[in-house]
Amino acid sequence: MHIRKDDTVEVIAGDDAGTAKSRTTGRVLRVLPGENKVVVEGINRVYKHLKPNRRNAQGGRLSKEMPIDASNVLLYCGTCRRGVRIGRRYAADGHKERYCKKCGTGLGTLSKPREAYARK
């Protein structure tokens, strides 16, 4: 999966997708690798309406985010200011990182530095 928890992503497809002029971004709250889905803050929210009862005199509504398909989101690149496709590479000190395929900016560490992959 190309997305991890706490990543900022752009939603590019589905009901909550943005447009080129107004991009929709959010933080990843949960990743469901088995289903290839992610839960993004504020995206695909569903509401449950509650009638007033003895414990809850006001009633009201609860909201929560439902998972969306991971292919509907792209990792957000702060340099490009949009969701981008990513690659993986070894950085100079030998740690593995994700990077933006558009501009080359590093987008987060994936592993500890390993001597064998360091550039001397």
Interface contacts to Zn ion, rule CB under 5 A: 77, 79-80, 100, 102-103, 105
Tokens, residue 101: 């395929």
> In the complex, what is the shortest distance from the CB of residue 20 to Zn ion, in angstroms, rounded to a whole number?
15
Whole-number minimum distance, CB 39 to Zn ion, in Å?
A: 24
Nearer to Zn ion, 40 or 99 (CB): 99
Q: How far apart are CA 35 and CA 24, in angstroms?
A: 23
What's the token pair of residue 94? Answer: 């030998």
What number of other Cβ atoms are within 10 A of residue 110's Cβ?
14
Which lies closer to Zn ion via its Cβ, residue 50 or residue 103?
103
CB of 23 to Zn ion, least distance (A): 14
d(CA 105, CA 115): 22
